[in-house]
Amino acid sequence: MVVGDVMVDRYISGFTSRISPEAPVPIVEILEEDNRLGGAANVALNLQALGAIPILCGVIGKDADGQTLLDKMEAHDLDCEGVMSSSDRITTVKTRIISGKQQLIRLDKENTHELTKSESSQFLKRALELLERKSITGLIFQDYNKGVLTVEVIRTLISACKSLHIQVSVDPKFRNFWNYPHVDLFKPNLKEVCDAVQMKVNPNLHNLKTASDIIKGKLNCTITLITLSELGVFLDDGHDTQIFPTKPRNVADVCGAGDTVISIAALALGAGLPSNEIALLANLAGGQVVEKNGVVTVNKAQLRRELLQILLEV
């Protein structure tokens, strides 16, 4: 199950041949508009691409963009049962205007206020019913600070997962960073860690271990996996600490890489892989998707090839 902020990633692409006479900005002649599933919905797509059956739980608006998201889910054979529509919210849409290969601007349409008491109650009722009825083996919180993951939602679902022996993995954001106690896997990025621990964390083993100790001390999580952008990932499983560097990549677009990392890390955890293999696979998968433009899912065949190459080199 994936619980969190769902959104539409919209790409409006074209070409520029002149500057506007109204202001010193380029005129983009539109050739294509592409809507993709983003946020927690992209996590669900990555899980599906890796062979899992995802159940997505999120909140959208009762608007045209919400219908676009539901239509895209249906086109990808994703179950919409856990997605709730609210007349008091709008569907999050991130619109990127692209000329050639250059992104000129991003326009965000969203609500960031928390769910109302009534919305939270309805949402929890739906998510808990799915947890009980479906054969859920793992839950991922995908937090983008859009208001769906309130403290009540987080704590209630963690408690339910513990009762049902369901593993919990988290991709946090700043607002609720410290509200995920006793989870199995906690995956912030380096900037989120620096903001949360309120200290500069250099991407070296000593600094990262210090930050991880603070996180583990407050959250009592089992595994800390910190993504370091182009430097790779840091792992602390309580027994070993290690930095897994990235292989050289031609980076095209970093959007959605965190979604891919948490997807494969949670699946690998659920499959019982040792923590070093979890970090290795997550690092490879995150590196793979940044080579492609826009929000894309991991390619399982490519991931297998790259993993075998590393194992052969060892």
What pLDDT shows up at residue 302? 86
Q: What is the pLDDT of residues 59-101, one digit of tens each?
A: 999 999 999 999 999 999 999 999 999 999 999 999 999 998 8
What pLDDT shows up at residue 216? 97
| 1-7+36-91+106-183 and 187-314 have identical folds | yes
Q: How far apart are CA 61 and CA 223, in angstroms?
A: 35
Q: 106: which 2 tokens?
A: 């991003």
> What is the rounded average pLDDT for all residues in the chain?
92
| Confidence (pTM) | 0.93
What pLDDT shows up at residue 286? 83
Looking at residue 152, its amino acid is E
Q: How far apart are CA 79 and CA 5, in angstroms?
A: 16
**What is the domain class of 187-314 according to CATH?**
alpha beta
- Any catalytic annotation for residue 259? yes
What pLDDT shows up at residue 247? 74
Q: What is the pLDDT of residues 121-154, one digit of tens each?
A: 999 999 999 999 999 999 999 999 999 999 999 9
Q: Does the pLDDT at position 289 exceed 80?
A: no
What pLDDT shows up at residue 294? 64
Q: Which residue of the set 143, 171, 236, 259 is catalytic?
A: 259
Query: Which of these CATH numbers, 3.90.1170.50, 3.40.1190.20, 3.40.50.300, 3.40.50.1700, describes 1-7+36-91+106-183?
Result: 3.40.1190.20
- Distances from the Cα of 208 to the Cαs of 175, 229, 246, 269, in angstroms? 21, 14, 17, 21
Q: How far apart are CA 286 and CA 74, in angstroms?
A: 26
Annotated domain spans of the chain: 1-7+36-91+106-183, 187-314
Q: How far apart are CA 197 and CA 186, in angstroms?
A: 14
Q: Does the pLDDT at position 293 exceed 90?
A: no
pLDDT band at 249 (very low <50, low <70, confident <90, very high): low
Q: What is the pLDDT of residues 252-280, one digit of tens each?
A: 556 668 898 999 999 999 999 999 999 99
